[in-house]
């Protein structure tokens, strides 16, 4: 880590990978496992920020990448894989009648906002406090101590319809779109209350605003993602994370009438560049990834996650630790009521969550900073057994140390 810190701030190149005192340096990975440069083995329960839905080295993706590499990497023209992948996404997500590929979910979110502002002629977007939509500054409102961004972004509280209604009552005619993360996963995993997301869609329509569904993370919840899971009909959908099967890839899209603004055959088309948009490798890997994300595998991930969560809650209760457990599907949030400050509010914060994170690593499990855990299709019964034993041991260590915090 000393070498890394000399050339990268904090010894890493993404804040979400940081945890005190320093993140491990990975040497190799396979399935649900990773090995660091000291050859210590870890069960991966973060999956690169939930971007590896089939774990590490998924065989169909490897085979697709090898086959694609024999033909090229990125072209200025389209490819059969690019077209086939767009068709596959359209079939799974009917709201995406047309789409454009990007290099990340951050880019996709930025372009969806650009489209909404162009279509409505309005300046503001409205999003939830604590909702993460990538590194586009306008979408960082409500994060890292920021509130409203004058002339650009407004925030309201997740699961609080009244909060959103109050903002819209004051600024509704200036709001281009409500940007919706269906499940908050910014250290604090928060599932939506029944009907909340549908009410946001209705609220947006009442004021003539669009809805942008950021399904980068929660496409995992169903074959049709959050639209299917929560019965949503967004105007635009943003995708990223595991979309490229471990390679950088994103997409955004919606109804044909909305997406036609990007059609370069039309006068006044909105410009959208990107040398690697829909590149051959990303689309080939993405097709293999999405093809393998079947309803049966989604059910399997959800069941494994339920088993893991139940075991942790039970062990914490036995140890007398006030553990806060949340989540939905194959994602869990673990936090501790005794912590004065949360990691998502201050990445340098130390508390029981930080101790738990380090204890997990010492027991051979890597979780996400702030207590995010995610299960992939690679986490079989043996891996979950290992996770339960290791995380239970980590909780025991936390219980011993809790009195000195």
Q: Where are the domains of the chain?
A: 2-53+294-404, 59-292
φ, ψ dihedrals at 78, nearest 5°: -75, 170
111 vs 350, more confident: 111
* Pairing verdict, β 98-102 and 184-186: unpaired
pLDDT of residue 352: 87
Mean pLDDT in residue range 255-280: 95
Q: Tokens 């990773």, residue?
A: 34
CA angle 325, 328, 331 (to 5 degrees): 75
Q: Please list, residue by residue across 65-94, b when 16 or more beta carbons sit within 10 angstroms of its beta carbon and e when fewer do.
A: beebeeeeeeeeeebebbeebbeebeebbe
pLDDT interval class at 22 (50, 70, 90): confident
Q: Is the pLDDT of residue 400 over 90?
A: no
pLDDT of residue 405: 47
Candidate ranges 135-149, 162-176, 316-330; pick with highest mean pLDDT: 162-176
Q: Is the peptide bond before 21 cis (omega within 30 degrees of 0)?
A: yes
Classify domain 2-53+294-404 at the CATH topology level. 3.90.1150
Q: Is the pLDDT of residue 159 over 60?
A: yes
Same fold for the domain at 2-53+294-404 and the one at 59-292? no
What CATH architecture is 59-292? 3-Layer(aba) Sandwich (3.40)
Q: What distance in Å separates the CA atoms of residue 305 and residue 365, rounded to the nearest whole number?
A: 15
Mean pLDDT of the chain: 93
pLDDT interval class at 248 (50, 70, 90): very high
262 vs 341, more confident: 262
* Pairing verdict, β 372-374 and 331-336: antiparallel
Q: What distance in Å separates the CA atoms of residue 54 and residue 116, rounded to the nearest whole number?
A: 33
Residues 308-347 have pLDDT tens digits of: 999 999 999 999 999 999 999 999 999 888 886 666 566 6
Q: Name the token pair of 272.
A: 């959208």
Q: Is the pLDDT of residue 157 over 50?
A: yes
């Amino acid at each position: 880590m000393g070498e890394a810190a000399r050339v990268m701030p904090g010894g890493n190149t993404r804040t979400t990978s940081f945890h005190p005192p320093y993140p491990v340096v990975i040497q190799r990975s396979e399935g649900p496992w990773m090995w660091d440069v000291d050859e210590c083995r870890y069960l991966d329960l973060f999956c690169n920020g939930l971007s590896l839905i089939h774990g590490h080295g998924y065989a169909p993706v490897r085979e697709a990448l090898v086959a694609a590499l024999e033909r090229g990497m990125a072209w200025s023209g389209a490819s059969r894989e690019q077209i086939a992948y767009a068709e596959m996404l359209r079939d799974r997500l009917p709201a995406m009648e047309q789409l454009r590929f990007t290099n990340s979910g951050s880019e996709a979110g930025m372009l969806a906002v650009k489209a909404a502002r162009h279509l409505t002629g309005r300046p503001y977007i409205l999003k939830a406090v604590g909702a993460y939509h990538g590194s586009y500054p306008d979408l960082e409102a409500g994060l890292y101590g920021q509130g409203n961004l004058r002339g650009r972004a407004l925030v309201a509280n997740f699961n609080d319809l009244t909060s959103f209604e109050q903002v819209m009552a004051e600024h509704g005619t200036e709001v281009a779109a409500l940007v919706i993360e269906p499940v908050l996963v910014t250290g604090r995993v928060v599932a939506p209350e029944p009907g909340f997301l549908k009410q946001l869609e209705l609220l947006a329509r009442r004021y003539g605003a669009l809805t942008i569904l950021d399904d980068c993370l929660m496409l995992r919840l169903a074959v049709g993602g959050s639209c299917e899971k929560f019965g949503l009909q967004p105007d635009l959908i943003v995708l990223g994370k595991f979309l490229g099967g471990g390679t950088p890839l994103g997409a955004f899209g919606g109804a044909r009438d909305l997406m036609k603004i990007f059609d370069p055959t039309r006068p006044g088309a909105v410009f959208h560049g990107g040398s690697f948009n829909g590149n051959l490798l990303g689309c080939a890997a993405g097709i293999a990834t999405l093809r393998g994300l079947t309803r049966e595998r989604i059910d399997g991930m959800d069941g494994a996650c339920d088993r893991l969560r139940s075991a942790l809650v039970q062990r914490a209760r036995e140890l007398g630790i006030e553990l806060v457990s949340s989540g939905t599907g194959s994602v869990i949030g673990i936090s501790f009521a005794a912590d004065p400050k949360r990691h998502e509010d201050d990445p340098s914060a130390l508390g029981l969550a930080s101790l738990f994170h380090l204890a997990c690593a010492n027991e051979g499990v890597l979780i996400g900073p702030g207590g995010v855990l995610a299960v992939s299709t690679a986490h079989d019964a043996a891996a979950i057994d290992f996770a339960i034993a290791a995380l239970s041991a980590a909780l025991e260590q936390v219980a011993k140390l809790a009195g000195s915090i």
